[in-house]
Structure 1
Amino acid sequence: MRKSTLAIVLLVILANLLVWAAFNRPVRPVTYAGLINGVSFSPYQKGQDPYKKIYPTAEQIDQDLALLEGWAGAVRTYSSADGLEAVPALARARGLKVTAGAWLDRRPENNQREIANLIANANTYDNVGRVIVGNEAVLRGDLSTRQMREYLREVRASVGVPVSTAEPWHVWLKYPELAEDVDFITIHLLPYWEGIAEKDALKWAMESYRRVQLAFPHKPILIGEIGWPSGGIRQEKANPSLTGQARFIREFLNVAAAQGLDYFIMEAFDQSWKRQAEGLAGIHWGLFDVDRRPKFSMTGEVLEVRFWVLQPLLATLLALGPMAIFLRQWNNLRRRGRLFYAALLQGAASLLIWSAALPLVSDMTLAGLIVWGLLLPAQAALLLVVLTSGLEMAEVLWVDKWKRHFRPLPPSRYQKLPKVSIHLAIHNEPPELVKQTLDGLARLDYPDFEVLVLDNNTVKDEVWKPVEEYCRLLGPRFRFFHLANWPGFKAGALNFGLTQTDPEAQVVGVIDADYVVHSSWLRSLVPYFEDPEVGFVQAPQDNREWQGDLFKTMINWEYNGFFEIGMVHRNERNAIIQHGTMTLVRREALEVQGGWSEWCICEDAELGMRLFARGYKAVYVNFNFGDGITPFTFAGYKGQRFRWTYGAIQILRRHWRWLLPGNPSGLSAGQKFHFATGWFPWFADAFHLLFTFAGIFWTIGLLAAPKYFEFPLAPFIVPTLGLFLFKVSHALVLYRARVNCTFWQSVGAAIAGMGLTHVIARAVFKGLFYKNEPFLRTPKGENQPALFKGFLMAWEEWQICALLWLSAGATWWRFGLGSPEALLWGVLLLVQSLPYGAALLTSMANCMPTAHLRAARWLTLARRGSLGLLRLRWLMGARRTTIG
């Protein structure tokens, strides 16, 4: 065992390191050993901003030029004002040539100042070999071509060096008249802004260069800007990265040297002030970062993140402790189960470290940092849900042998069976339904029991009096009590029943009003009370009359999954949830605990928790001893789950301290674990609702104010999608392994369970902020709803679903499917919509006619001649299954 444990640890650690290494492989672009012809030069330091009129000093400009000395042959400036007119003199002292620029915009006074300084420098300094009047002023729409040509003529008439203006390549093709007033053509080739993939960027740049060359064969061409950003968001197919920048720059420099191209690399230093106009990518074009450190060399390999090795090491350390505890304590799992969960622990740790390091490896706006700060703890919480679900998966699929496995236990011939008092609390139930339940109890083959029927606040005499009369007909074992204006809901009625229980009764049984028990129920389970440590014995809930009805089939199997998977798993640590039906409780323990809690609408689960805290054991016998009836409507189904969830939050609010490590509550560590983590998925549903509205709000921000809103980072979006897929696959895999249903029935159960996400979220929030909620009885006898009512039962859900779909569509329409960030965001919104869509699907399934009604309709059509005999036979054969 020790050798296998060590092997698992080493295998998981090695796999973790290999995955990190695979995503951080260095690139080895071609080497460039020559001098760079020229670089675009903006000497703004961190915190400086021309928009705010904060300019670099002459000393700072000179320090930047010193870094470029011997590394580049020339610099290109964009302005000849606000201190930048000093660049030619400082560059001459460093042996650097200058292509001087004047910044032109819609301010005539500023333009004249820029041009005056440009002319003066060109006529004063011999290292100013040419000048560029304006930069993309026509592209921006600041100047018309007529205005630009006037400025060009003015400068050409005043200087003795070649004159040009700078525009992207396509502007020259669109406005060829500009070429008439320049001595050379300055083009910008920036494939990132064109959305070109990095692997095709250089080819695209050279093709664009040739197009301009062919259009103006008699004009020299200067590539005024060419480059690739080292960071930012995707632009269609263009993915900015440090390795991509190094590859593009090195390859271009070699091509330029071979073909004798005239160029300026965009640009020397990262410029943080450009974020306002160009977003995150705009601040990452420099060959040096904003702190004046070179990003990469022109030889050797290049790493995207230099310190990436620290991340897998930290992730390994973070996972090592939990992994060691798991492998030591869970030695009853087969190797594949231990390997699976150890790998899951390591994967969760790696994802958390990766997300936590994002601000260190990527630039974020203030909004991005806020989102990161909110999403990181949320992601940690979701990972905790995944880990608890993964543990359940590992134990259920790969346990060697269950430590606590109970079967029906018929009494021995000489065993004296204690008297049982069965309490049946009813409220406004259809009399015929209750009579079926009473008939089942009358058939019990147990020697000594009584039945107390506790009618709780039923107003109409025609509803409760037939039940009273029926109890009289069944004999003295059946006693009926009508409790008018009785407080405490079901718990209050059950507590009254305790006061009326036969003094000889040692066990109290509770069932719901719709449950028809099997005759062997008491005889098979009561013998477990011979063990004085057993506080209650629980059998699973099962259902009848669901076959042939799509809606009931879906929810039947959704219920079944909990009893076949969750309860079996919890039983292993004596931590099952007590349910208010098919349960037997030791009377003495019940009375010592003060009976049922009337402050809680899930009095059964709360009692079970108190019994565990008192040191009692529970017995879960996973065998069907009775059948109830599923809710008839989606509204009833939601109401039932709302009650369960709200009641659980009530329990947590009252007893949360019991679950803290080290708290002497009497609960074992395993019981604390299951009670705490068993409700995690419900809190995850509450987070889902928050994220849904946050996603809709964020989409509105992206559409209305893209300057202030950016797409959430892919490292948060992709894991969120992955966690959703894990949740779905977790349910389907466990269903296939533990639940005796078909694949399509398990899919239907998953849809039904997913459709409860919204109502669970509402119950969580209501439970957190409101102390008291009226008891919600689950109706069991309504007629099936009409189609319109089906929409009404999922009214909130389908509206939210529509909003999410609209948000996804608007995102794709605004940003295009070519933007990976927009594509991912839209996909995430659609995934967010699935639980709301599932609610609508489940509600619509509730409106479909049952199998016998469908068959009757087809028969009617066939008799009228609407269908042929062969068609009828095919249809009848196709309708034999219950779902799928």
Structure 2
Amino acid sequence: MKKIVTVIALALLVVINFSIWSYTNNPLQLKSWNKPMMGLTFDPRRKNHSPENNQFPTTAEIEEDLALLSGKVHAVRTYSVLRGQDKIPGLAAKHNLNVSLGAWIDDDLEANRQEIETLIQVSRQDNPKIVRLLVGNEFLLRHQKNEEQQMQAKQQLIEYLREVRKRTWRPVSTAETWDLWLKHPDLVDEVDYIAVHILPYWEGINIDDAVDYVFYRYNELKQHYPNKPIVITEVGWPSNGQPFKHATASRSNQAKFLREFLNRATDEKLVYYIVEAFDQPWKMALEGSAGAYWGVFDADRKPKFPLEGDVLALPAWKHWAAGAAIFSVLLMAVFLFTRRSIKLPGMVFFGVMANLAASVIFWSASIGAQQYHSPLTIAFWVILILMQILAVIILMIESLEIAEVVWHKKTARTFEPLTPGPDFRYPKVSLHLPIHNEPPAMVRKTLEALAVVDYPNLEVLVMDNNTTDPAVWEPVRDDCERLGPRFRFFHLENWPGFKAGAINHALEQTAEDAEIIAVIDSDYILSPDWLKCMVPYFDNENVGFVQSPQDYRDLHVSTFKAFCYWEYAGFFNIGMVQRNEYNAIIQHGTMTMIRKSALEKVGKWAEWCICEDSELGLRLYEAGYDSVYVKDSFGRGLMPDTMSGYMTQRYRWVYGAMQIIKAHWRSFLPTKKSPLTSAQRYYFVAGWLPWFSDALALLFTTASLILTGFIALDPTHSELPVNAFLLPTIGIFSFKVLRGLWLYQARVPCSVWHSLGAALSGLALTHTVAKGTIQGLFTSNKPFMRTPKYEKQGPLFEGLMTIRQELILLILLGAAITLMLSLDHFDNLSGRLWTAVLSVQAVPYAATLLTLLISIAPNYRSKKALQSAEELDDVV
């Protein structure tokens, strides 16, 4: 019954999602237009044609276009008479279309001469359908950056106008924007009529004011030149492309503009040519992406929308909504129906996130599908969609974690500390303590705590690994001798394999009757009852290793350490607890016990991996062993003292995880040959994916900076792929912060202030994690990186040098944000969203700087802080 209710609830979510798609694609109710238009500008080039490839339409293709326009429009306006376009007037006459015939004028004098001569020749034909001539199109506008050049261009244009007017009897003009006609009244004297372009989109006018703006500029010209006929030779709106200031290019806005303008122009008896008949994808290189989408018909000669009745912004929305629904069902099926421990509210929460994520993916894909593409842009969109899918997978994993933690049912794999009975046989434990160049006073505290461990059958092997200074390792040797025969000390010089090499040597020195190997770090002070409470779990012969959480005793030393403490605590109170429910914990190299026979069976510690502990845990799972995790703290160590130490430690963990992935990737494949259970495969991959998320964020940040650089060089022709960046940046970041705060309140016993501090310190490591992920995937020779203890804080400059990469990126992002705010071209929703993307991308780098400043703030009290830590050790 509960399963049926769950299925009904999730199905209802899909229906609601489909309804939202329907609501957002409600038909626009616009005033209809049911007459032929007066005129359309006409360029017969097809989708695959461009000036660069020197391909132009055939006569048959031109006639096909004119036949399509016949009955829908009274006249066409052309821009050139070369490359077969001199035949347009004759072909247009066959289809009862008038023609405003144009000659293209630019800086190529020879081509200009060909255009002029052909224009005059065609105009002298006995063709009553040629109603007017145009010499040049926006010739002055293309020279407006230099006043002197514009004056020269005007003089040249006037000479062409005078020649054509002298050699033909038809009305002659040149086409320019309204402002240039007002600026050059002397040009008005050289034409028979004013051919004006009024394009409110290119002036950044909001769609709601666009038609009023056209008539305002038209009437302004009329007032200045009351005795001159005015023909609007270009007016229109693009259906797609980048926004320009307050003007947004869209199918619905194009429909709104055209219907309103056509009705009003008819009422006021304007002569006009809508730009344009067919989309021209080649114009993107000249005008930016919007240049391709001015056609009433698309490049495949299909109408974009009806001129009567309702208009849909996304005509195929039902197909996209259905795709999103199917994808959301797949997401829910893959993630949810293997989870019986989630209550219904958790299922519904995950279902909401799955539907939202699926809709974002298909919304992005629908935007790309409506655009014209080159092989390069196709590759760009494929990469963006794949990156969004990766972001969705990360989002789903983190959503599932929330659902499992907040709405979980009690399961059988919750382990508590055990109390051995009177008949319990205490198996021998060999505890291995690897050290390298550690402060002797710190190690002494660890040894003294081991000396009072309440366990009757124990040996302690202290493995000093390559410490060169006798003043550092000899006091440890002496302490071992002082503490009695239970302690044995080994000094290893020029020893390979780092920590793994040292504890592998310890295995060779281990007592033959030892059954359990325990490992702790050199800074850990154990609770006396750790072994007694945990060793009994090995009575189950299938248990390969038993793990207790890492914990720390110096959280009160500074705000920096307090934040770090609670950042660590999240993993051990949330991630490890949840993974334990599915026998999939991460083994870490302290507070761990391993069955000796299991360790020997799977092949000792991996000296090739700098996270030999996690790698061993994975091999034990592959060999079929179980694990036990008890979240009670039995030992406390020391956290890194500096930002550098904090970053180095996390880099080692991440880099080592990438080494493990490369070595064991076959085990993570969802095949029957995998030695891992499906839950183990899931939790190992899920545990590492957030690190891939940080690497993905670095790639998106780099891409954002590069794109913003191109925007600075050419804002007019640049387009912001905001929709493709929203989910992987703002969406993932916002959800990541929300998830952290939510789970901390559910599972971690800390205040809101400390959970915010944990979030800050976690964000501060974003770039470190990204570097560790990328470098770990593509290199394999990084040495083991020790986390130093009792490390002195350096000065501010030294700290800033530690985070110099983060600082450079923060400065670049700040510059990019400042640049975007200064560009009038992007004073619109798209520009503001892009600024928001850049701002969110800057947050982790700002967090790194802030965390560094917090870490060095008590620098002037460093001696006192160190003394406090040592006093705390004494108390513990």
TM-score w.r.t. length of structure 1:
0.91
CA distance in 1, matches of 2:480, 2:82: 101
Q: Aligned letter for 2:563?
A: M
Conservation of the 8 A alpha-carbon contact between 2:722 and 2:834: no
Change (3 A) 1:77 1:597: closer
Corresponding letter in the other structure for 1:839: T
Deviation at 1:14, TM superposition (A): 0.9
Shift of 1:560: 0.8
> What is the aligned partner in structure 2 of residue 222 from structure 1?
231
Deviations 1:275-303 (A, max 9, x none): 33223222211112222222222111122
- Per the TM alignment, residue 748 of structure 1 is displaced from its structure 2 partner at its CA by 2.0
Of 413, 420, 434, 2:443 maps to 434
Q: Equivalents in 2 of 1:410, 1:758: separation in Å?
A: 45
Equivalent residue, structure 1, for 2:286: 277
2:141 maps to a residue whose letter is L
The aligned counterpart of 1:534 is 543
- Aligned residue for 1:165, secondary structure, equals strand
Question: Whole-Å Cα distance in 2 between the matches of residues 828 and 600 of structure 1?
Answer: 37
Q: 1:816 to 1:78 in 2, by over 3 A?
A: closer
What residue in structure 1 maps to residue 771 of structure 2?
Answer: 762
Aligned equivalents of 1:292 and 1:86: distance in 2? 20
2:604 counterpart of 1:602? no
Residue by residue over 1:596-634, the C-alpha shift from the partner in whole angstroms, topping out at 9 and shown as x without a partner, is: 222322221122112222222211111111111001111
| CA distance 1:596–1:241, shift in 2 (3 Å) | same
1:25 aligns with 2:26: yes
Asked if the contact 1:368–1:710 (Cα under 8 Å) also holds between the matched residues in 2, the reply is: no
Q: Give the Cα–Cα distance (whole angstroms) in 1 for the partners of residues 447 and 536 of structure 2.
A: 23
The CA deviation string for residues 31-87 of structure 1, in whole angstroms up to 9 with x for no partner, is 112231222222223333456554434333332222222221222222334432333
Structure 2: distance between partners of 1:58 and 1:498: 87
Q: Deviation per CA, 1:579-612, whole angstroms, max 9, x where unpaired?
A: 1111122233223333322232222112211222
* TM-superposed deviation, 1:576: 0.5
Q: Does 1:553 align with 2:566?
A: no
Confirm or deny: 8 A CA contact 1:790 1:846 kept in the other structure.
Answer: no
* Residue number in structure 2 paired with 1:650: 659
CA pair 851-5 structure 1, distance change in 2 beyond 3 A: farther
Following TM superposition, by how much is the alpha carbon of 1:534 offset from its aligned partner in structure 2, in angstroms? 1.9
Q: How many Å separate the matches in 1 of 2:650 and 2:858?
A: 24
Q: Give CA-to-partner distance per residue, 1:98-152, whole Å, 9 cap, x none.
A: 2232322223444344334434444432233333332211211276333333333
Q: 1:504 Cα shift?
A: 3.9
2:128: which partner in 1? 126
The SS at the match of 1:101 is: strand
Deviations 1:138-182 (A, max 9, x none): 211276333333333333344444333221111112222222233
Q: Quick one: distance in 2 between partners of 1:34 and 1:632?
A: 79
Determine if contact 1:550/1:848 at 8 Å carries over to the other structure: no
Is the CA contact 1:548–1:851 (under 8 Å) kept in the aligned structure 2? Answer: no
The count of corresponding residues between Structure 1 and Structure 2 is 856
Distance 1:79 1:849, change over 3 A: same
1:536 is paired with a residue whose SS is strand
Q: Structure 1 residue 626 and structure 2 residue 651: aligned?
A: no
Q: Which among 676, 682, 697 is matched to residue 673 of structure 1?
A: 682
* Structure 1 residue 429: Cα displacement: 0.8
Q: Name which of 514, 534, 553 aligns with 1:505.
A: 514
CA RMSD of aligned residues (A): 2.6
- In the other structure, the counterpart of 1:640 is 649
Task: Indicate the residue corresponding to 2:210 in structure 1.
Answer: 201
Q: 1:499 to 1:67 in 2, by over 3 A?
A: closer
Q: CA deviation at 1:713?
A: 5.4
Partner of 1:629: helix, strand, or coil? coil
1:63 maps to 2:64: yes
Letter in 1 for 2:61: Q
Paired with 2:543 and 2:754, the residues of 1 have a C-alpha distance of 36
Q: Which runs of 4+ in 1 moved over 6 A?
A: 705-709, 850-856
CA contact (8 A) 2:391 2:727 kept: no
Alpha-carbon distance, 1:704 to partner? 4.6
Return 152-161 or 416-425, whichever deviates more.
Answer: 152-161
Equivalent-residue separation in structure 1 for 2:559 and 2:197 (angstroms): 63
**Alignment of structure 1 residues 774-853 onto 2, 5 Å:** 774-813=783-822, 816-818=825-827, 820-849=829-858
- Contact kept, 8 Å, 1:367 with 1:709, in 2: the verdict is no
Does residue 448 in structure 1 map to residue 449 in structure 2? no
Residues 331, 788 of structure 1: CA spacing in aligned structure 2 closer, same or farther, 3 A cutoff? same
1:662 counterpart (666, 671, 689): 671
More deviation in 99-108 or 233-242? 99-108
| Residue aligning to 1:8 | 9
Distance 1:325 1:122, change over 3 A: closer
Give aligned-pair identity as a percent: 45
For 1:242 and 1:817, the matched residues in 2 are separated by: 20
Matching of residue 249 in structure 1 with residue 258 in structure 2: yes
Distance (whole Å) between structure 2 residues aligned to residue 127 and residue 615 of structure 1: 87
Q: Which residue of 1 is the match for residue 351 of structure 2? A: 342
Q: Which moved more, 1:482-491 or 1:195-204?
A: 482-491
Moved more, 128-137 or 141-150: 141-150
Q: Distance in 2 between matches of 1:492 and 1:60?
A: 77
Which of 187, 207, 213 is equivalent to 1:178?
187
Q: Secondary structure at the match of 1:412?
A: coil
2:306 paired with 1:293: no
The answer to whether 1:725 aligns with 2:743 is: no
Distance 1:179 1:854 in 2: 84
* Pair 282,584 (structure 1): closer, same or farther in 2 beyond 3 Å: same
The aligned amino acid for 1:611 is: L
Q: Distance in 1 between matches of 2:616 and 2:864?
A: 47
Determine whether 1:153 maps to 2:162. yes
| In 1, Cα distance between equivalents of 2:649 and 2:158 | 77
Select which of 309, 312, 315 maps to 1:306.
315
1:540 Cα deviation (Å)? Answer: 0.7
Aligned to 2:594, what secondary structure does the other structure show?
strand
Aligned: 1:136 with 2:145:
no
Which piece of structure 1 moves more, 185-194 or 342-351? 342-351
Q: 1:766 to 1:104 in 2, by over 3 A?
A: closer
Cα distance change, pair 594–44 in 1 and its aligned pair in 2 (3 A): closer
SS at structure 2 position matched to 1:848: helix
Paired residue secondary structure (2:202): coil
Letter aligned with residue 457 of structure 2: D
- Please state whether the residue corresponding to 2:546 is helix, strand or coil: strand
TM-score, normalised with respect to structure 2: 0.92
Contact 1:547 1:553 in 2 (8 A): yes
| Secondary structure of 2:189 counterpart | helix
Residue 373 (structure 2) pairs with residue 364 (structure 1)? yes
Preserved CA contact (<8 Å) 1:815 1:822: no
Q: Are the aligned partners of 1:549 and 1:851 in contact in 2 as well (CA < 8 Å)?
A: no
Mapped partners of 1:719, 1:216: distance in 2: 55
CA contact (8 A) 1:635 1:793 kept: yes
Once the two structures are TM-superposed, the CA of residue 322 in structure 1 deviates from its matched residue by 4.1
Say if 1:423 and 1:497, in contact at 8 Å, map to a contact too.
yes
Give the deviation of 1:819 after TM superposition.
Answer: 5.2
Residues 106-121 of structure 1: pairs in structure 2 closer than 5 A: 106-121=107-122
Q: In the alignment, what sits opposite 2:870? A: none
For residues 373-405 of structure 1, give each alpha carbon's deviation from its aligned partner in whole angstroms, at most 9, with x where no partner exists. Answer: 222222222222222222111101110223311
Separation in 2 of the partners of 1:520 and 1:817? Answer: 65
Secondary structure at 2:201's aligned position in 1?
A: coil
Q: Is residue 39–residue 76 contact of structure 2 (8 Å, CA) maintained in 1?
A: yes
1:864 is aligned to none
Unpaired runs of at least 5, structure 1: 857-884
